[in-house]
Amino acid sequence: MKGVFVTGTDTNVGKTTVSAALMQRYRMSHELCYWKPVQTGAPPDNDTETVRGLGGCTDGEMFDNGIRLPVPVSPHLAARLAGTEISIEQVMKYLPANTAGKSWIVEGAGGVLVPLNRKQMMIDLIDALTLPVVIVGRAGLGTINHTLLTVSALRARSITVAGVVLTGEGIDDNADSIAEFGNVKILGRMPHLAAVTEGQIRHWAQRELDRDGVLAKAMEGRWD
């Protein structure tokens, strides 16, 4: 499988918006497909439809099979309240038999240590998919600690961190400190957008996201 897994340092940090931006950034050079394996609060929450709109995506760029649970809480609790249980094996069965034809933008739920069940966490799903990870974090106060903890957790499992995207208003030094202390690439800083539209996301992604093309290798499935 080629592509990236988009995780966050917390909930509501901008994973879905960044996923849409990645679709806008790499569509011209790669055949892309977005996937949200686990969605809680659905409906009305529907990150797949949000990415479809903000990413300007076609039906062929969306893969809408996965775990969908109604209560907007952690996946393990949402599953329990629905009288079921999530397992990584169950999630992986949703994937088509051959995933090699496209580069996948896979969006997680919450952060890397969000529980899926009593024994497995989101980081275990990331490990099973063997994709390098894009971390999305807030640009403001507290982000250095939260982002470096996420980097450390992933590297402790020998999972590749492809880079970090910071969102919203923040302190300029935060990005530099994360890059230095985490030895990680800052792929972009998405400013606060008063009204998020497909055009705004496309404009930012094509000009500001991953300027150096760091993720091109991941999209091609040849990350070292």
Catalytic residues, by residue number, are 36
Residue 105: beta bridge partners? 4, 34
Q: At 169, phi and psi to the nearest 5? A: -80, 145
Q: What are 8's two structure tokens?
A: 């966050």
Dihedral sign, Cα of residue 14, residue 16, residue 22, residue 28: negative
Rounded Cα–Cα distance for residues 127 and 108 (Å): 12
Beta-carbon-side half-sphere exposure of residue 135 (alpha carbons within 13 Å):
33
Distance CA 118, CA 125 (A): 14
